[in-house]
Amino acid sequence: MGKTVAEQLPRRVPIERGMMVMVIKLGLATAVRLQDRRARWSFINALIPYEVIYPGLEDHPDHDLLKSISNKDYGYGGMLCLDMETEARAYKLMNLLQNHTQFGLMAVSLGYYETLMSCSGSSTSSEMNEEERALAGISPGLVRMSVGYSGTLEQRWAQFEKALSRLQDSGLLSKN
């Protein structure tokens, strides 16, 4: 982050104490509700023929560890990943999510109060070579998402499902 952006950031982000408390509570509610929406995951897993990575899912390799060390009131967080396998599929999904359903914004950094998403292989991990990314589990089509505090969780899920349905209808989710 450049000096100018760093100096302007406090003016852009709501810093009033009451607003920050509300934002933190919304973040907690989002994380807890993500954890409680397991029925929705079956829909997403059936619709997307690719890997869904979220520590709140029981089949996540670190689920038990996170469950044993985390505060149950905070859920498993608002960060999730979809491995779309190829960069082209990842960007098609993110384009729909950003430009057609207003689910979130494409960004390199996921630290903001809005819902943000990035394709790690071509952004934050682009300095790693292909072998290093593979060892780290970062495929070319890994889409990381940070669910933000704006809007309701119901709005976000409806937007997400609409984009996935559109991808499915267009054949863009096909592995062929």
- CATH number (domain holding residue 11): 3.90.1150.10
Domain membership flag for residue 175 = no
Higher per-residue confidence, 105 vs 148: 105
**pLDDT at position 64:** 92
Q: Which domain holds residue 76?
A: 3-170
Structure pTM?
0.72
**pLDDT at position 96:** 92
**pLDDT at position 119:** 92
Number of domains in the chain: 1
Read off the pLDDT of each residue in 162-171 and give the average, rounded to a whole number: 81
Domain membership flag for residue 176 = no
Domain membership flag for residue 25 = yes
Contact 74, 106 (CB under 8 A): no
* 41 three-class SS: helix
Lowest mean pLDDT among 8-12, 44-48, 52-56: 8-12
* 145 three-class SS: strand
**Cβ burial, residue 102 (10 Å; 0-12/13-18/19+):** middle
